[in-house]
Chains A and B, each alone.
Chain A
């Protein structure tokens, strides 16, 4: 799997499919078992977020290279209401959706690179990368 894949996130079953696809890609990249588990968990959190907060979205799964290092990059995008206060949204325990408030803050801890772009009315774009060690 060298070409990027784009998967829809429109229902609960899509969250499961995203997890399975990301797991396969993480194995291909050569991530350790712990790192596979971390990136799949982060993918699950972010996919569910797209579903709960934006009513759906999509994720792009790609293998990236930095010198000899390989990594797995996931880009989640949606056209939902966006996040008005990004700093607050990244605080542990902060939620507007009735969850535990660990989705964003927790996923950030599980990956190596985390980038969040969002504005009210303009949807949300989250890019995460996990590098093989």
Chain B
């Protein structure tokens, strides 16, 4: 079984999925990430799916579960790099990933997490 590496950058954990995920790898990633969020005290998790050609209901549910678990462990999750064809397919499949934040790319994902980190400052600035 392939394992997906989890990288740490400041208080953000970054996961870039580069392989065609089998279900066991998906479950392992879920556990690895939960452990790492606690071990590092990370405030944000970015999951990069730029290289992912399909997201089916299993992988979609994994993304939503990771977001929910991280939130419980005081970290926000952003899924970045979704391909247009994947978005179209997911919506048609019936999975709109309501609880998952997304950003178009890694850079915007990092910016979104920084924005979430300082909600009071940004509210005051509006």
B24: chain A residues within 8 A (beta carbon):
12
Residue of A nearest to B55 (CB): A41
Over the window 81-106 of chain B, the binary record of Cβ atoms lying under 8 Å from chain A Cβ atoms (1 yes, 0 no) is: 00111101100111100000000000
- A16 B93 Cβ-Cβ under 8 A: no
Interface centre among B53, B56, B61 (most CB of A within 10 A): B56
Q: How far is the CB of A14 from chain B (nearest CB, A)?
A: 9
| Per-residue contact bits, chain A 16-45, to B (CB 8 Å; 1 contact, 0 not) | 100110010000000001101110110011
Contact with B along A75-117 (1 / 0, CB 8 A): 0000000000000000010000001101101110110000000
Q: A12-B23, A48-B58, A106-B57 are in contact. Are A37 and B88 (CB under 8 A)?
A: yes
Q: How large is the interface on A (under 10, 10 to 19, 20 to 34, 35 or more residues)?
A: 20 to 34
Q: Does A63 contact B (CB under 8 A)?
A: no
Residue of A nearest to B83 (CB): A37
Q: Measured between C-beta atoms, what is the minimum distance from B64 to chain A in Å?
A: 9
With an 8 Å Cβ cutoff, the count of chain B residues facing the other chain is: 23
Report if B73 contacts A (CB, 8 A). no
| Chain A at the B interface: SS class | helix
Using Cβ atoms and an 8 Å threshold, which residues of chain B touch A19? 20, 54
Is the CB–CB distance between A110 and B93 below 8 Å?
Answer: yes
**Bound: A41/B20 CA distance, A:** 12
Query: B57 — which chain A residues lie within 8 A by C-beta?
Result: 45, 99-100, 102-103, 106
Q: 26 A-B pairs, CB-CB below 8 angstroms?
A: A16-B20, A20-B20, A34-B85, A34-B88, A34-B89, A37-B54, A37-B85, A38-B85, A38-B89, A38-B92, A40-B53, A41-B54, A41-B55, A41-B89, A44-B54, A44-B56, A45-B93, A99-B58, A99-B61, A100-B57, A100-B95, A102-B57, A102-B94, A106-B93, A106-B94, A109-B93
Residues of A within 8 A of B (CB): 12-13, 15-16, 19-20, 23, 33-34, 36-38, 40-41, 44-45, 48, 92, 99-100, 102-103, 105-107, 109-110
In addition to A48-B23, A48-B56, A106-B95, 9 A-B residue pairs with Cβ atoms within 8 Å of each other are A19-B20, A40-B53, A41-B93, A44-B56, A99-B57, A102-B93, A106-B93, A109-B93, A110-B93
